[in-house]
Amino acid sequence: MHHTNENIGFWIAALNRQFNSYMSKQLTDFDIKTSEYIFIVQLNMTTPLNQEELSSKLYISKSATTKAIKRLVQLGYIYRVKDENDKRAYQITLTEKGNQLKEKVMDMLDEWVMRLTHDMDRSENEETMRILKKMSFNINNPNKDLD
């Protein structure tokens, strides 16, 4: 298991690098970074959210979330509104420009998934998804017994 190309971590890291390279090229015209597009996607799914909710849902530190939100506000993709239930917090939502970008980002992600899975059948896709979710769960639950 010490051979690099037989290590699952190697392949996960390789896919991550390939994905970041793909998204970096795709996002060039929109002046956003690969670390920022995920906020657009998450707001697409569950608008509006506060910064703490975004950090939690995306497994991203609060400081990184704050930095990304500030930049996306400056670029006009999102805006912050005081939370009516918690005056200390802000609700984050997409602007019209952000909604337009969201559609383009979703197309980019669809293309990536199609490229990634083009020769996989439905059961392989489902099994891969099940395993990836299980792996993510394992990382996020470090107190789980290890064999």
Place 2 in a pLDDT band, splitting at 50, 70 and 90: low
Domain total of the chain: 1
| pLDDT of the residue at 111 | 97
Residue 66 inside a domain? The answer is yes
Regarding predicted confidence, which is higher, 35 or 87? 35
How far is it, in rounded angstroms, from Cα 112 to Cα 106?
10
Q: What is the pLDDT of residues 96-127, one digit of tens each?
A: 999 999 999 999 999 999 999 999 999 999 99
Q: Considering the domain boundaries, does residue 115 fall inside one? A: yes
pLDDT of 21-36, one tens digit each? Answer: 999 999 999 999 999 9
Alpha helix positions (H), the chain: 8-27, 37-46, 51-58, 62-74, 96-117, 122-140
Counting other chains too, the contacts that 140-147 makes at CB distance below 8 Å and 24 or more residues apart are: 140/59
Q: Does residue 146 form part of some domain?
A: no
> Which domain covers residue 39, as residue numbers?
4-140
Q: Is residue 41 part of a domain?
A: yes
Provide the mean pLDDT of the chain: 90
Residue 130 lies in a domain: yes
Percent of the chain surpassing pLDDT 90: 70
How many residues in the chain? 147
Could you give the dihedral angle defined by the CA atoms of residues 119, 125, 128 and 130, in that order, rounded to the nearest 10 degrees? 180
In a domain, 117, yes or no: yes
State the helix-helix crossing angle for 37-46 and 96-117, rounded to 10 degrees: 100
Residues facing residue 78 across a β-bridge: 94
Which CATH number characterizes residue 55's domain? Answer: 1.10.10.10
Task: Note if the pTM is more than 0.95.
Answer: no
Q: Residue 4 above 70 pLDDT?
A: no
Asked if the structure places residue 147 within a domain, the reply is no
Distance CA 1, CA 56 (A): 33
pLDDT score of 44 more than 60: yes
Higher pLDDT, 86 or 60: 60
Q: Which residues pair with 82 in a beta bridge?
A: 90
Residue holding tokens 């639950």? 141
